């Protein structure tokens, strides 16, 4: 296995686990690099960060929130909106570890090859954003935050673990059941079911990152139509241009995971900064 | 006739309306299940919240579940253990799915770890959303943090299981109380059973008790005989129409209230009291 075939995969896992570790260390040993969790945190004990979707749900309940989280949410929106795109989903979110494992197993077990009858629209997540806000408004509690496997996973690692005499003991508890449910749903029921169809937080990050600069670029002159990229891509529709024309992957659902770049042996895919004017001229991709 | 029905064309309008109904049907079903779960998740009435938390419904709306309060509590620089000079265990826990508390929200169980009431109240100042409201623990006169203003709950004594009420000498809760002689005082009483001993009964003042739970932690009985409950559960409410005739402030309250929001209507309301008070009496 060549380094170029796993480069972004390894980098992503390092970032994902590293962030999880830094959040954990903030609670276990009081490190001040990252404190809090993925809903809201403080970077180096000064910069506030906040999950824009959580803040939106809190707004929907009618509560007034402090300036800190507003600044935090704005910073996150700016970062992903201008630069990262939907990178949260593949580079930060811990549930991605679970769903990627399920997707990998699906390929190994050849489950992908057999056609399934369950079909879920990939737009479901956008409807669920609206539904989450409505339920939040009706019930007076941020609705997705009480079922979100993302923050439940994150919190279970950070707060479910107690630093006991040098070692870190995890007590994962009932949150494990939720992750298992997602794993088996993705493995046996719907390919990329959670991240690619249901998760409303992914929907929010798709919307935020729609016009971001960092994009995957396809060079169809080099493409040999091996279609390895389409096999590994968790949001296959975004690769509609493969082998047809050279273009940026501009659809908002692309998570910038870089797996397609990894598996491509023909140098037909790579990360690049998108020229906004050019991509607009190119029309819908 | 049936033929005509089947040949009726599906117009774009019909398709649009059907799609709309389809979405609404799924949305209503999903929404109701979701809202049902959320409503259930909200109800954790016996939960003790961190200091300066907003009232429970507002707290649940505002808390973003980040855990910065719990981390600030665990790593507080002040309030070290007097014997070992090491930090005491963290008071605040973040609720997990198996805890009977709204998931992800901070709470504490005084019997495990009570609140040590730090001077600098690090948990409250760490809150980014205002779910823990600094103004609730800020002295309005000096503008400084005042831990005696915390109202996390109220200690309640079960006089049946409290051994001090049996006549045994125990003042563990009284001595553990950070606001000794204010929040808990000892009431002396004669022990009629022996005729020569005294009762030293712990009595909690609702005006001073912060709900820190040091008493619950210190209680010597197997299951604590003094325990902290959320104030809205521990406290009753007499209703606005009971007035303390000996209390000037309460009298003032009635004066201001009369004629505004009090309206009593019954069968005799239209009559003059002189007319009905003596009615039906025979001398």
> Per the CB < 8 Å rule, is B34 touching A143?
yes
pLDDT value for A283: 43
- Across the interface, whether the CB atoms of B97 and A140 are under 8 A apart is answered no
What are the tokens at A35? 């404190």
Other Cβ atoms less than 10 A from the Cβ of B241: the count is 9
Q: Where are the domains of chain B?
A: 38-147, 153-233
CA distance A7 to chain B (A): 32
**Residue A216 structure tokens:** 């995957």
CB < 8 Å to B70, chain A: 27, 159
Q: How far from the centroid of its chain's Cα atoms is residue A99's Cα?
A: 10
Q: What is the model's pLDDT at position B224? A: 94
Residue of A nearest to B33 (CA): A135
- The shortest C-alpha distance from A160 to chain B (Å) reads 8
pLDDT at residue A119, as a whole number: 81
Of the residues B61, B70, B98, B106, the best mutation for testing chain A's interface (the one with the most A CB atoms within 10 Å of its CB) is: B61
For testing the chain B interface, which of A47, A55, A128, A139 should be mutated: the one with the most B CBs within 10 Å? A139
Whole-number pLDDT of residue A11: 92
d(CA A126, CA A234): 17
Cβ contact, residue pair B64, A140, below 8 Å? no
Q: Contact B65/A35, CB-based, under 8 Å?
A: no
CA A115 to chain B, closest CA, distance in angstroms equals: 25
- A 10 A CB-CB count for A97 gives 15
Instruction: Say whether B71 and A66 touch across the interface (CB within 8 A).
Output: no
d(CA B172, CA B165): 13
pLDDT for the residue A46: 86
pLDDT tens-digit profile of B177-197?
Answer: 999 999 999 999 998 888 889
Which string of DSSP letters, residue by residue, matches A40-58? EEEETTTEEEE-HHHHHHH
Q: Dump pLDDT digits (tens) for A62-118.
A: 888 888 889 999 999 999 998 888 999 999 999 999 999 999 998 888 887 777 777
Per-residue pLDDT for chain B (283 aa), expressed as one digit of tens each? Answer: 555 566 778 888 888 898 889 888 888 888 889 888 888 888 778 899 999 999 888 999 999 999 999 988 888 877 777 777 777 778 898 888 777 888 889 999 999 889 988 888 999 999 999 899 999 999 888 888 888 999 999 999 999 999 999 989 899 999 999 999 999 999 999 988 888 899 999 999 999 999 999 999 999 999 999 999 999 899 998 887 788 889 888 888 877 766 566 666 777 777 777 777 777 766 6
Candidates A26, A131, A155; nearest CB to B30? A131
Map out the domains of chain A with their CATH numbers: 3-208 (no CATH), 214-281 (3.30.70.20)
Strands A269-273 and A214-218: antiparallel
Q: For the packed helices A175-184 and A95-108, what is the interaxial angle rounded to 10 degrees?
A: 30
Distance in angstroms between the alpha carbons of the first and the last residue of chain A: 32
Does A122 contact B at CB distance below 8 Å?
Answer: no
**pLDDT < 70 regions, chain A:** 1, 161-174, 275-285
A41 to chain B: nearest residue by CA?
A: B66
* Architecture of the B153-233 domain: 2-Layer Sandwich (3.30)
Query: Among all chains, which residue has been given the structure tokens 């007319």?
Result: B275
Answer whether A120 touches B (CB < 8 Å): no
ipTM of the complex: 0.84
Which residues on chain B are in Cβ contact (under 8 Å) with A65? 62, 64, 129-130
pLDDT at A172: 66
């Amino acid at each position: 296995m060549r380094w170029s075939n796993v480069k972004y995969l390894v980098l992503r896992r390092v970032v994902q686990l590293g962030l999880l570790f830094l959040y954990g260390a903030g609670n276990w040993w009081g490190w001040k690099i990252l404190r809090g969790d993925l809903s809201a945190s403080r970077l180096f004990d000064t910069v506030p960060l906040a999950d824009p979707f959580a803040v939106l749900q809190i707004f929907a309940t009618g509560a007034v929130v402090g300036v800190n989280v507003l600044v935090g949410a704005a910073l996150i929106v700016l970062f992903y909106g201008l630069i990262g795109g939907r990178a949260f989903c593949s580079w930060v979110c811990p549930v991605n570890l679970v769903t990627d494992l399920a997707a990998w197993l699906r390929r190994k077990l050849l489950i992908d090859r057999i056609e399934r009858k369950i079909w879920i629209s990939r737009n479901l997540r956008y409807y669920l954003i609206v539904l989450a806000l409505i339920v939040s408004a009706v019930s007076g509690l941020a609705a997705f935050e009480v079922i979100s496997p993302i923050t439940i996973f994150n919190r279970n690692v950070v707060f479910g673990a107690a630093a006991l005499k040098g070692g870190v003991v995890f007590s994962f508890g009932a949150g494990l059941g939720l992750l298992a449910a997602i794993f088996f749903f993705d493995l046996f029921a719907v390919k990329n079911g959670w991240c690619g169809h249901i998760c409303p937080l992914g929907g929010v990050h798709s919307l935020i990152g729609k016009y971001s600069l960092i994009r995957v670029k396809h060079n169809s002159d080099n493409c040999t139509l091996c279609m390895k990229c389409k096999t590994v891509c968790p949001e296959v529709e975004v690769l509609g241009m493969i082998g047809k024309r050279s273009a940026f992957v501009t659809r908002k659902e692309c998570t910038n995971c870089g797996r397609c770049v990894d598996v491509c042996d023909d140098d037909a895919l790579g990360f690049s900064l998108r020229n906004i004017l050019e991509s607009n001229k190119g029309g819908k991709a | 006739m049936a033929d005509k029905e089947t040949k009726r064309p599906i117009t774009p309008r019909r398709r649009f309306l059907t799609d709309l109904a389809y979405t609404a049907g799924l949305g209503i079903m999903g929404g109701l299940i979701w809202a049902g779960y959320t409503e259930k998740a909200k109800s954790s009435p016996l939960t003790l919240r961190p200091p300066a938390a907003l009232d429970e419904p507002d707290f649940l709306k505002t808390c973003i579940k980040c855990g910065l309060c719990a981390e600030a509590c665990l790593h507080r620089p002040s309030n070290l253990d007097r014997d070992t000079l090491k930090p005491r265990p963290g008071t605040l826990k973040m609720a997990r799915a198996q805890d009977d508390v709204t998931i992800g929200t901070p709470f504490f169980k005084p019997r495990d770890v009570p609140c040590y009431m730090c001077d600098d109240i690090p948990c409250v100042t760490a809150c980014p959303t205002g779910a823990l409201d600094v103004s609730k623990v800020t002295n309005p006169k000096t503008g400084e943090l005042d831990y005696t203003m915390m109202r996390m709950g109220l200690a309640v004594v079960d006089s049946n299981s409290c051994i001090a009420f049996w006549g045994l000498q125990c003042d563990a809760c009284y001595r553990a109380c950070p606001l000794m002689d204010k929040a808990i005082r000892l009431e002396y009483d004669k022990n009629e059973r022996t005729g020569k001993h005294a009762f030293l009964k712990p009595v909690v003042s609702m005006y001073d008790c912060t709900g820190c739970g040091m008493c619950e932690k210190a209680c010597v009985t197997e299951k604590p005989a003094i325990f902290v409950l959320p104030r809205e559960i521990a406290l009753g409410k007499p209703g606005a129409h009971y007035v303390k005739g000996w209390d000037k402030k309460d009298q003032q309250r009635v004066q201001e209230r009369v004629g505004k929001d009090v309206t009593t209507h019954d069968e005799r309301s239209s009559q003059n009291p002189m007319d009905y008070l003596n009615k039906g009496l025979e001398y």
